[in-house]
Structure 1
Amino acid sequence: MINFEWYRTFKAIYKTGTLTGAAQELLISQPNVSQHLSSLEAYICHQLFERQPRKMVPTEYGKLFYTQIVEAVEKLENVESDFRFACEKRMPLTCVGAPLEFFESVLAPVISQSRAELIFEFGLTKPLMEKLVKGDISFVFSTANGNEKNIAYEPVLAEEFLLVGSPGLDTSTFKKAINKEYYDKAEEWLMEQDWYAYSSDLSVIRRFWQANFQKRPVLKPRFVIPDYNAILKALSYGNGLAIASNYLVKDPLKQGRLKEVWAGHTATTNTIYLAYDKTKMATAQIKIVKDLLQEELVTH
């Protein structure tokens, strides 16, 4: 009788290319990996890999065998994971890291609809990802895609950066220059305005400027405020400009507390990822956190 673990081991060797990699992925010893593979090859009467010094190269039969079994194996793995997760009396406490402004604008309106118990931690992507790698938190809504071992990054939201201004700001000169494609004059006007920035390095402003003017901005912000919601609130009372994500400015624009000045002739975009340790998170647990975004999209 064939052992399901033999299939799982075969898939891990195929994906990692080594016995050592498969052992690390499955959290078993390398001798066990070798034993599983030998047993499977003996059972089906075919060699599945050519053993080379530094890697395992699938034979033609091995490639065919992989295409035949991989979908079924992954489905069974998901069923196993989901069943184990569903058998618990309560959903496990889940700690989610996110930028504060992302939580306030995107997650806060929908978290009450989640059936999980959630603990949120706020901060910048880099320190939050360090905690994720250490196992101190379960998920991170990340503004960047990294390559840490065992960490999966799933794109969950696309954001676009917009140039916005105070509601009373006179933008007629800028609009006229943009309509006539006088981008030098448009840039001159921008340089004369009061700017609100998230950080002194002008990271978002630089991206927007590079995409639309093909150069770095030579400007000094009048106000540096390390919180986007605070920036937008201050801007609504002031007389200046800022660049922020579309999900942050959506409501202030609708309510007339800000005005959209320019989306740029070239869109400046970024992807928000859901990051998690794929060796620790169950499929159902991942779905619960991803569904927060789905609820937000449906609601808005």
Structure 2
Amino acid sequence: MANFEWYRSFITIYKHSSVSEAAKTRIMTQPAMSQHLASLEAEVGEPLFTRTARKMVPTERGKELYTELAPLIESLEETTLSFKTVSSPTLPVVKIGTAQEFFRERLAPYLHTFHMRVFAYYGLAAYILDLLTEDKVDIIVTSQKYTAPGIEYLHYVEEQFVIVAPYHYEEPDFNDSKQLEAWLCSQTWLSYGLELPIIRRFWRENFQKRPQMKPEHVLPDLHIILSAIEHGAGISLLPTYMLANSLQTNKVKIICKPYKVTNNLYFAYKIKNSTIPKLRILIEALKGNMPPTDSKNEV
């Protein structure tokens, strides 16, 4: 049975009238090209070319075979090329690193508007910065501005964190902040990490001291923390952007409302890539799709 590659080699030799030129065109060795032709001639049962000192002259059988094969081979190659062009991704690819919760709430709903292919990588600030410095991502969204050579930061948005409790949680009235602080320390807390990342900031900004308590549960996923609060596991600090549904369905409530803390998020990317069009397009798309800041849009 004839091999398809024999046919392609035969067509190429016919067009160039030379085995050596055909071999160069198909990026093959001359002996391999000659072997293709010999195999096809053996299959056909007669010579397809007359070999002269200067060129390969097709025989009548060779001319007949070329007339039949050429349109079929060319049509097949055009179809393959067309299919490859259509199926190949033409949109630019942007690799972004961020916290999983932020991507889910603030980026995922707008993916259809980006006009680009997004590859997401999740992790804490130090981890996604490593991905950026190692060129494994193009851009990150981070709350930490680490000093790193060649990295540029651009302010993105301000998050607002509030104390969230189960809907039927009892919140006593206090005359001063010291009583409130003592009461908060006595409650069951859920934290994103043992180091109490946002809780420590909340205490420092509102009570000018470090929190004197340990979390009951450490759950490194804000959505899991929210779910645990809905089921009565305790209280925690959560960003307001992820509370709308739980508040509307009376699963949680915000307590100690005057007390809150803000958290700035930044885009970070390598300075050498700052003018790449796909990054500028993504940044503008993300900025354009952001809802009003939490301070102006209380839930």
By the TM > 0.5 criterion, same fold? yes
Aligned match of 2:204 = 210
Deviations 1:102-133 (A, max 9, x none): 11111111112210011001011111111111
Question: For residue 129 of structure 1, what is the aligned residue in structure 2?
Answer: 129
Q: Residue 116 of structure 2 aligns to a residue in which SS?
A: coil
Match of 1:296, SS? coil
Query: Which residue is equivalent to 1:109?
Result: 109
**Pick from 250, 253, 256: which aligns with 2:250?**
256
The CA distance in 2 between the partners of 1:136 and 1:185, in whole Å, is 49
| CA distance in 2: counterparts of 1:293 and 1:246, whole angstroms | 18
Q: Give the residue type in structure 2 aligned to 1:121.
A: Y
d(CA) in 2 for partners of 1:251 and 1:143? Answer: 25
Q: How much does 1:91 deviate?
A: 3.4
Counterpart-to-counterpart distance in 2, 1:157 and 1:118: 20
Spell out, residue by residue over 1:7-48, the C-alpha distance to the aligned partner (whole angstroms, 9 max, x if none): xxxxxxxxxxxxxxxxxxxxxxxxxxxxxxxxxxxxxxxxxx
Query: TM-score w.r.t. structure 1 length?
Result: 0.63
| Counterpart secondary structure, 2:273 | coil
Distance (whole Å) between structure 2 residues aligned to residue 242 and residue 164 of structure 1: 6
SS of the residue aligned with 1:144? coil
Query: 1:106·1:293 contact (CA, 8 Å) conserved in 2?
Result: no
**Cα RMSD for the two superposed structures:** 2.0
Q: Is the 8 A contact 1:111 1:292 kept in 2?
A: no
Aligned counterparts of 1:211 and 1:136: Cα–Cα separation in 2: 36
1:236 equivalent in alignment to 2:203: no
SS in structure 2 opposite 1:110? helix
CA contact (8 A) 1:139 1:276 kept: yes
Whether 2:162 is the aligned partner of 1:162: answer: yes
Post-superposition CA distance 1:192-244 (Å, at most 9, x none): 22111111111211110111111111112111111111000111111521012
**Does the 8 Å CA contact 1:99/1:123 hold for their aligned counterparts?**
yes
> Aligned partners of 1:255 and 1:276: how far apart in 2?
39
Question: Mapping of 1:44-123 within 5 angstroms?
Answer: 90-123=90-123
Among residues 256, 259, 274, which one is paired with 2:267 in the alignment?
274
1:294 and 2:297 correspond = no
Question: Does the 8 A contact of 2:95 with 2:137 survive in 1?
Answer: yes
For the residue of structure 1 that corresponds to 2:184, the secondary structure is helix
Identity %: 26
Spell out the pairing of 1:20-31 with structure 2 (5 A cutoff): none
Residue 94 of structure 1 and its aligned partner are, at CA, apart by 1.1
Q: CA–CA distance in 2 between the matches of 1:153 and 1:207?
A: 21
Find the residue that maps to 2:91 and give its secondary structure: coil
Alignment partners' CA distance in 1, 2:241 and 2:281: 21
SS of 1:243's equivalent in the other structure is: strand
8 Å Cα contact 2:228-2:234 kept in structure 1: no
What is aligned with 2:79? none
Matched AA of 2:150: N
Q: Which runs of 5+ in 1 are unaligned?
A: 1-88
Report the Cα offset of residue 270 of structure 1. 1.6
Query: What residue number does 1:198 align with?
Result: 192
Query: Given residue 279 of structure 2, which amino acid in structure 1 is its aligned partner?
Result: I
Question: Equivalents in 2 of 1:254, 1:289: separation in Å?
Answer: 31
User: In the alignment, is the contact (CA less than 8 A) between 1:169 and 1:239 conserved in 2?
Assistant: no
Distance 1:281 1:91, change over 3 A: farther
Q: 5+ unaligned residues in a row in structure 2: which ranges?
A: 1-88
Cα distance change of structure 1 residues 197 and 135 upon mapping to structure 2, 3 Å threshold: same
How many residues are matched? 204
One-letter amino acid of the structure 1 residue matched with residue 205 of structure 2: A
